[in-house]
Amino acid sequence: MTGSGQSNIKSPNIDWVAILIYLALVVIGWVNIYAAVHEDSALSNFSMNSRYGMQLIWIGITMCVAVVLLLLDERFYHMLAYPAYIVGIAVLLLVLVAGKEVNGAKAWINIGSISLQPGEFAKFTTALAVARYMSRYNFSITSLRELIPLAILIGIPPIIIIMQKDAGSALVYTSFLFMLYREGLNGWIHVFFFAFIALFFMSIVMEPLTVLIIIIVACVIFESLRNGHWKQKIIYLAGLALATIILCSTITFLGGNISVYTTLLICSVLSLPAVIVYAYRHRLRNVYMFIALFLTSIIFAPSVDYVFDNIVQPHQRDRILVVISDEVDLKKEGYNYNQSLIAIGSGGIAGKGFLQGTQTQFNFVPEQSTDFIFCTVGEEWGFLGSTVVVTLFCLLILRLMQMGERQRDPFGRVYCYSVAGIFFLHAVINIGMTIGLVPVIGIPLPFFSYGGSSFLAFSILFFVAVRLDAGKRELLRT
């Protein structure tokens, strides 16, 4: 391998700041795994057969893999993208047939004495394939013809993973929206996506009438803040809301048997022609987006109860209700949530000290070396230690974004932003569930949670980004 992409990388071309942040997270992560699973404080009892010992072996293996990744020609990753993606899909399908079930998810496969989770590596192959596809010369993110194959590329892995009953890992693929927004995807798609997430949770805990009123008020406020014709937009939205409320009240007062929500839906639909005519005459193009969002919302809201009761799995319902409902049994479905909050809250400002966490040492927190590893951080190192960890993750993500911005071609930029999005979503969800902000979702905290598959996969994602960045910096120096 010769030329500008030759494999003998000069050290100044590598982003050593990013690597130092990575190493800091790895060291702190391993220390907390040791704290979570050790049985005696004496280091003389150190065992390579324990979880902290196995994690140390995986760290050593990963460091060797990292060196290889940094020595490979950056053009290799461009050529590898589609073949790796196809192999990744094939292995995911193989898991459905010959996989091993762990905690209700058939997402693992045995290779000798080693168990691997192919879904972790599928994020890497998907990021490569998406970067390859979006780096084509004639690619346009505003073209529907281009977006459909892109959606298929991103959508196939999570669909298979959902079939493996691992919804948490499938959720991570929504992180690609972060990269797509950077590349210029219409912001309305993101508005619709986050609006429906909010609407789903609101529809579970609120009455349909309350949800609809919130939708109307939100539309009025949001539209009033947009530039141009804001008075006219407020008038049309307020008129729609007023007509809906008046007609609904009239029918209810007259003793109609139609439900309140059905009445609101009918009145809203009947009032739309006048709104559309008004919008057309005044050239209010964004109005049509609001109409689509409004109609979809009022149809979507009442269907949430059916989906929640009949499609969502019982354990998933419990995890959602733990966060949004006060009527939770803390000895059953709310146990994990409650013990996690106790552990983190008991850490205070500076923590109880290394190996001094009572919740951790007496195994009150479930899965404390994997999904709930951040509880160990919070209890033993307190608010200050937790702040350090969160800051390191933020710095790593920002560094990845900076790597992306340094790229001259779309391939490297798309890949780096995809990795940044994956790390961001993993960190937010994992830390969020330990402090009660999001439902308990079984996804690891990068470089902290015990597991060879996740640690190796996250490291591969990171070091390929470093290699692509080093190649571009090398070109800039020549």
Cβ-based neighbours of 326, under 8 Å, separated by 6 or more = none
**Per-residue pLDDT, 61:** 94
Q: How far is CA 381 from CA 31, 70, 454, in A?
A: 11, 34, 24
Contact 221, 241 (CB under 8 A): no
Looking at the fold, whether 297 and 406 belong to one and the same domain comes out as no
Alpha carbon distance, N-terminus to C-terminus of the chain: 17
Backbone φ and ψ for 450, nearest 5 degrees, come out as: -65, 140
Contact 315, 168 (CB under 8 A): no
Q: What is the mean pLDDT of the chain?
A: 79
Q: Could you say which of 312, 337, 358 is where a domain stops?
A: 312
Q: Dig out the tokens for 165 from the structure.
A: 């009953």
Q: Could you say which of 312, 334, 363 is where a domain stops?
A: 312
**DSSP code at position 449:** S
More confident residue, 364 or 90: 90
Q: How confident is the model at residue 198 (pLDDT cuts 50, 70, 90)?
A: confident
Separation between Cα atoms, residue 63 and residue 57, nearest integer Å: 10
Q: How confident is the model at residue 279 (pLDDT cuts 50, 70, 90)?
A: low
Of 174, 211, 176, 223, residue with least CA distance to 194: 174
DSSP one-letter string for 362-418: TT-STTTTTTTHHHHHHHHHHHHHHHHHHHHHHHHHHHHHHHHHH-SSHHHHHHHHH
Q: Is residue 92 part of a domain?
A: no
Separation between Cα atoms, residue 288 and residue 231, nearest integer Å: 17
Q: Dig out the tokens for 217 from the structure.
A: 């008020």
**Per-residue pLDDT, 276:** 58
Q: Is residue 185 part of a domain?
A: no
Looking at the fold, whether 460 and 410 belong to one and the same domain comes out as yes
Contact 140, 289 (CB under 8 A): no
Q: Is residue 269 part of a domain?
A: yes
Q: With pLDDT > 70 as the criterion, what percentage of the chain qualifies? A: 66
Separation between Cα atoms, residue 426 and residue 419, nearest integer Å: 11
Looking at the fold, whether 462 and 343 belong to one and the same domain comes out as yes
Alpha-helix residue ranges (DSSP H) falling in 172-285: 176-182, 187-205, 208-224, 230-253, 260-281
Identify the helix (H) or strand (E) that includes residue 284: none
Contact 15, 476 (CB under 8 A): no
Check whether 187 has a pLDDT greater than 80. Answer: no
Domain with 363, as residue range(s), is: 3-75+326-477
Contact 455, 447 (CB under 8 A): yes
Cβ-based neighbours of 411, under 8 Å, separated by 6 or more = 78, 131, 132, 134, 135, 468
Looking at the fold, whether 283 and 370 belong to one and the same domain comes out as no
Contact 470, 464 (CB under 8 A): no
| Tally of CB atoms within 10 A around 177 | 17
Cα Rg of the chain (Å, integer):
25
Q: Which long-range contacts (CB under 8 A, 24 or more apart) does 182-187 make?
A: 182/404, 182/413, 182/417, 183/134, 183/141, 183/410, 183/413, 183/414, 183/417, 184/141, 184/142, 185/141, 186/142
Range 425-431 average pLDDT: 92
Q: How far is CA 113 from CA 131, 370, 452, in A?
A: 34, 20, 13
Q: How confident is the model at residue 4 (pLDDT cuts 50, 70, 90)?
A: very low
pLDDT tens-digit series, residues 374-422:
988 988 999 999 999 999 999 999 999 999 998 888 999 999 999 999 9
**Per-residue pLDDT, 312:** 66
Orientation of helix 452-477 relative to helix 74-98, angle to 10°: 160
Q: Is residue 107 part of a domain?
A: no
pLDDT tens-digit series, residues 13-51:
889 999 999 999 999 999 999 888 876 544 546 677 788
pLDDT tens-digit series, residues 244-257:
555 555 555 555 54
Q: Is residue 45 part of a domain?
A: yes
Q: Could you say which of 312, 337, 371 is where a domain stops?
A: 312
Q: Is residue 130 part of a domain?
A: no
Residue type, 102: V
Looking at the fold, whether 299 and 332 belong to one and the same domain comes out as no
Looking at the fold, whether 213 and 354 belong to one and the same domain comes out as no
Q: Is residue 456 part of a domain?
A: yes
Q: Is residue 251 part of a domain?
A: yes
Of 328, 314, 325, 337, residue with least CA distance to 202: 325
| Tally of CB atoms within 10 A around 45 | 10
Looking at the fold, whether 382 and 445 belong to one and the same domain comes out as yes
Which range in 16-25, 131-140, 299-308, 403-412 is most confidently predicted, on average pLDDT?
Answer: 16-25
Separation between Cα atoms, residue 88 and residue 76, nearest integer Å: 17
Check whether 258 has a pLDDT greater than 90. Answer: no
In the chain, the number of structural domains is 2
Check whether 123 has a pLDDT greater than 90. Answer: yes
Looking at the fold, whether 239 and 348 belong to one and the same domain comes out as no
